[in-house]
Amino acid sequence: MSLFPLLMFPFLIVLLFLGFPIAFGMIATALVFGLVIFEGALIHQFAQKIDDISTNFVFAAVPLFIFMGAMLAQSGVAAQLYGALSVWTRRFPGGLAIATILLCVVFAACSGIVGATETVIGLLAIPPMLERGYNKELIVGTITGGGSLGTIIPPSVIVIVLAPLANVPVGDLLFGIAIPGLLMAGFFVVYVAGLCLWRPRYGPPDRTAGEGLSFGRKVAMTATAMVPPIVLILAVLGSIMVGLAAVTEAAALGAAGSIGLALAYRRLTVKVLWDTLLQTIGVTAMIMTIVVGGSVMAGVFIGGGGGLLLQELVDHLQVGQAGLLAIVLSIAFVLGFLMDWISIALILVPIFTPLLKAAGVDMVWFCVLLLIVFQTSYLTPPMAPAIFYFRAISPPEITTAHMYRGVIPFIVLQLLTLAATLTWPELALWLPKQLFTGF
């Protein structure tokens, strides 16, 4: 069998190093190799792939979830949440960092977009933490690690893209990531609290926080800021859980609810709506262009015999289920240095899904593991997209060296979450079984 399809990957990497955007690099790779393999029939394959994507109703949820997160960010809901959380935590060592992580959990559930979560939270949290003299590495790790939770806290935009590729129900995967995501957030909080108790200078407490505010006033502030967004999140996820709405309909509910929240907080203006729409259009166009590029490239690779070639290679190596999982997750981690998560998912999942199913791997479990790997590679130097986002919003006193050192403990905690989910698959499988199969 010809090894020609395998040359697609080094060809794509060369295009990326030459400065091609990832979406157009994948389309160009598919075009060049597709013309060689299929000649004139390539146009029909391209048309079929584009038709498959444009008629898949699940993808309609992508712009709706993006709109929901963008509206909550633009309308200042995140800032109000941060103020309410920090009133309770900042009197303790590392309190501002803990409030930041908790805010990341809530905002990740509202947004589902990693870059948006990190950017919004960073702009809110960096100034007060610097003012209190927080350790710079801790500031970086807290915001980049917490911001990355958008990958694995439901509802996550990547789940909407990944589930159809792996042929798993979107609802199963949305709830499959919930326990590992909250476990990871818990690891982050415990680490920050333990570090700042051990070395208080890393996160000095603010003993004057909340002075002049009664307990009742604090409760009222927190309820006003937190209850409406949490109700919105529960409405979106709950409508899916009880079968009242499909994912797309739930996303529409979330988008409408975000407008309602902005109105309730008196933050909805023409400028806020316009900026939200522009952000939604830009991010959606980027994601869907990458989806098209990855889909046509995977189609050419599989159609050219690449899938059968990989099957023969795996059979020859006789690695078994654990070995196959290790290979796929390792490839995904390495590709994370070069590509974004959508591109990696669109290339790897269609290619390896038949092999994983043949090996008896539960695809919901595999997708949860893959999402944790994506999240880890997002933080891992030298490429580390999280650091690029952070650099764009950080002041000059936080250097690149601070950034690289700051992410390391949080990468370790992400790998700990990966190890736990590998060891106990029920962390990913138990909740979907309880909700959707009743046992």
> Which residue pairs from 419-426 have beta carbons closer than 8 angstroms and sit at least 24 positions apart in sequence?
420/180, 420/183, 421/180, 421/365, 421/368, 421/369, 421/372, 422/325, 422/369, 425/362, 425/365
Which pLDDT belongs to residue 182? 93
Q: How far is CA 363 from CA 62, 190, 191, 248, 350, in A?
A: 22, 30, 31, 22, 12
Question: What pTM did the predictor assign?
Answer: 0.81
Which pLDDT belongs to residue 414? 94
Which amino acid is located at 429 in the chain? L
Decide if 387 contacts 407 (C-beta within 8 A).
Answer: yes
Assigned token pair, 434: 């309880």
* pLDDT tens, residue order, the chain (439 aa): 467 777 887 888 788 778 777 778 888 888 888 888 877 777 777 787 777 777 777 777 778 878 887 787 777 777 777 777 777 787 788 888 998 898 888 877 766 666 667 777 887 888 888 888 899 999 999 999 988 887 888 877 788 888 888 888 888 998 899 999 999 999 999 999 999 999 989 988 876 655 666 777 778 877 787 788 888 878 887 887 777 777 788 888 888 888 888 888 888 888 888 988 888 888 788 778 877 887 788 778 777 777 677 777 767 777 778 888 888 898 888 777 666 677 778 778 888 888 888 888 899 999 999 999 988 887 877 667 777 778 777 888 888 888 889 999 999 999 999 999 999 999 999 999 887 664 4
Assigned token pair, 279: 């952000």
With 0-12 / 13-18 / 19 or more C-beta atoms within 10 angstroms meaning exposed / middle / buried, residue 182 is middle
Assigned token pair, 141: 């790790």
Give the span between the Cα atoms of 422 and 330, in whole angstroms.
14
Please report where in the chains the tokens 């415990």 appear, as a residue.
Answer: 190
With 0-12 / 13-18 / 19 or more C-beta atoms within 10 angstroms meaning exposed / middle / buried, residue 55 is exposed
Which pLDDT belongs to residue 194? 94
Give the span between the Cα atoms of 239 and 433, in whole angstroms.
17
Give the span between the Cα atoms of 438 and 432, in whole angstroms.
9
Which pLDDT belongs to residue 210? 58
Which pLDDT belongs to residue 211? 61
